[in-house]
Amino acid sequence: MLALMYRRAAGRFAAVLVLGAVMGVGVADTAAPAGPPVAEGFVNAPPAEVWRLFVRGAAADTAAAAVTEPTLRIGGEIRSAYDPGAAAGDRPAARGTIVNEVLAYEPERMLALRVREVPGDFPYPEAARRTWKVMYFQPAGEGMTQVRVVVLGDGEDAQARALRELFAASERRVLERIAKPYWPKCAKCERDALEQQ
């Protein structure tokens, strides 16, 4: 199931960006051709709230993950299951679960995760285990957060590059889903609108 989700991700990527632009969701594709894939967006919520959405599982729930078990410590795990029948503790091969290892974090500012385990039907499992992402949460004005996710990995073979692009596309969808409930108005936007009246 998860493999199918990632295969579909590549085809949906363009539609997500168009939908985001039409709705003003604030998600952009900022990957440079020679650099690592990047997902970047703005959320009209303070960094503490956006951090909570990513770390405590609300972001994963928003992205349709059924179970998220975060252990926020170096070497800890953030386990997300994408199968509706999944239960806490299911092994990756059993229920479409991805297990990420916490490499580093600075609360409410940065979180670095490496893929530790993937489901048996996951495309490019070896490349997945050599992949990590760094998420940055920066204040971007009153009540607003800029989120930047950089997807990195060892290897420049076709599978490794394709997998990093798929992960970045997935992060773009997560950002869109998180940002959408907070748009179109931010605190500054509302004040500006009142001042113009």
Give the H or E element holding residue 99: strand 97-106
Q: Where do we find the tokens 């092994």? A: 91
The 10s digit of each residue's pLDDT in 123-147 is: 888 899 899 999 999 999 888 999 9
pLDDT at 60 over 70: no
Higher per-residue pLDDT: 35 or 197: 35
pLDDT at 105 over 90: yes
Query: Average pLDDT of the chain?
Result: 74
- Quick one: which of 142, 164, 176, 167 has its CA closest to 28? 176
DSSP 173: H
Give the H or E element holding residue 179: helix 158-179
pLDDT band of 13, cuts 50, 70, 90: very low
pLDDT band of 14, cuts 50, 70, 90: very low
The number of domains in the chain is 1
Find out whether 41 and 27 touch, Cβ atoms under 8 Å: yes
For residue 154, the domain's CATH number is 3.30.530.20
Find out whether 113 and 100 touch, Cβ atoms under 8 Å: yes
For every residue of 102-127, DSSP letters joined together read EEEEETTTEEEEEEEE--TT-SSHHH
pLDDT band of 121, cuts 50, 70, 90: confident
Q: Where do we find the tokens 């060892």? A: 154
For every residue of 39-51, DSSP letters joined together read EEEEESS-HHHHH
1-5 mean pLDDT = 36
CA distance 1 to 106: 33
5: which 2 tokens?
């989700």
Strand ranges inside 46-85, DSSP E: 67-70, 77-81
HSE of 92 in the Cβ direction (CA atoms, 13 Å)? Answer: 18
The overall pTM is greater than 0.85: no
Q: Where do we find the tokens 């990420």? A: 100
Task: List the domain range (segments joined by +) for residue 61.
Answer: 2-196
